[in-house]
Chains A and B, each alone.
Chain A
Amino acid sequence: MRFITDRKRAAGLGSAKTGTEHHWHMMVTSVALVPLVLMFILSFGAILGSPYSEVIAYYQRPFPAMIAILTMLVGFNHFAHGARSTIEDYTGGLTRKALIIGVNCLSYSAAAFAIFAIVRIAL
């Protein structure tokens, strides 16, 4: 038996007090993603399959480039937060922390790579 009181055992197991902010963040990014993703599917789908020179010329135009940049930025941000919810639902302890850090590294790296690439094509 461990000499530990009920209060000590319960401490830290309650709400993290940041759930509202997380939820609001998901609402804001999801509303933004509805038009962004629709425009991205149509613009990316239209140019996919074209030869290299046409693809480069297409993403040198401001509108397709901005749609792609914003979709990548907001999309991967939304993904990082959504995946975090899943991780928090099914894992705990060190596994949870490691997975959340991993998902954040992956999401923001992917977004950074994509945005750097699009800016490099555009400029």
Chain B
Amino acid sequence: MAAEPKKGTFMADNKQDNRPLSPFMIGQYYRPQWTSMSSIFTRITGLSLLVASLMIVWWFVAAASGPEAFATANGFITSWFGDLILFFSTWAMFYHMLFGIRHLIWDSGRMLEVDQSEMYAQAALVGSVLLTIFVVIVL
């Protein structure tokens, strides 16, 4: 029985299998870094804002429907569980906003050095917490 021809012998062979792949930024290959962590959290916070957004849409639809529907939706949002969602969403909102602004700064060609980027990440993390506390106190 003839041996299988080696991969890559023919033009039509799929060479993709041997292609070197760079590992994903989170996992066993990299230690956690400010740059990679702040980046993935920008995405996570952005996506998680869907929960509070849909809750607020429900609140508006209920308000438009009448007092009974409003009482149900408003009761849920102002319950401890609704408050918890709104509290974390407020933080997620500020985090996503501050790190989104970093993207706008990067796009203008500024703050592209790693140390500047890390400094912004640390400052923006503190900023997002402070802004959340500010909103909770004011409202």
Contact = CB atoms under 8 A, between A and B. Distances in A.
Q: Is the interface of A mostly helix, strand, loop or mixed?
A: helix
Closest 3 CB pairs of A and B: A45-B139, A117-B64, A117-B60
A86 B42 CA distance: 11
Interface residues of B, number: 36
A121 B60 contact: yes
A62 B71 CA distance: 24
Nearest to B139: A45
Given A27-B104, A48-B78, A75-B53, A117 B14 contact: no
A76 B47 CA distance: 11
Contacts of A101: none
B34 interface: no
Given A4-B12, A79-B49, A114 B78 contact: no
Interface string A30-53: 110110010001101110110010
Interface string B45-58: 01101100110110
A6 B11 contact: yes
Interface stretch (B93-101, B110-118, B122-130): B93-101
Interface residues of A, number: 40
Contact of B70 (A46, A52, A76, A114): A52
Interface of A: 1-6, 9, 27, 30-31, 33-34, 37, 41-42, 44-46, 48-49, 52, 55-56, 59, 68, 72, 75-76, 79, 82-83, 86, 110, 113-114, 116-118, 120-121
Given A1-B12, A6-B12, A52-B70, 18 more contacts: A3-B12, A34-B100, A41-B90, A45-B139, A46-B139, A49-B78, A52-B67, A52-B74, A55-B63, A59-B63, A75-B53, A76-B53, A79-B53, A83-B50, A110-B57, A116-B61, A116-B64, A117-B65
A118 B103 contact: no
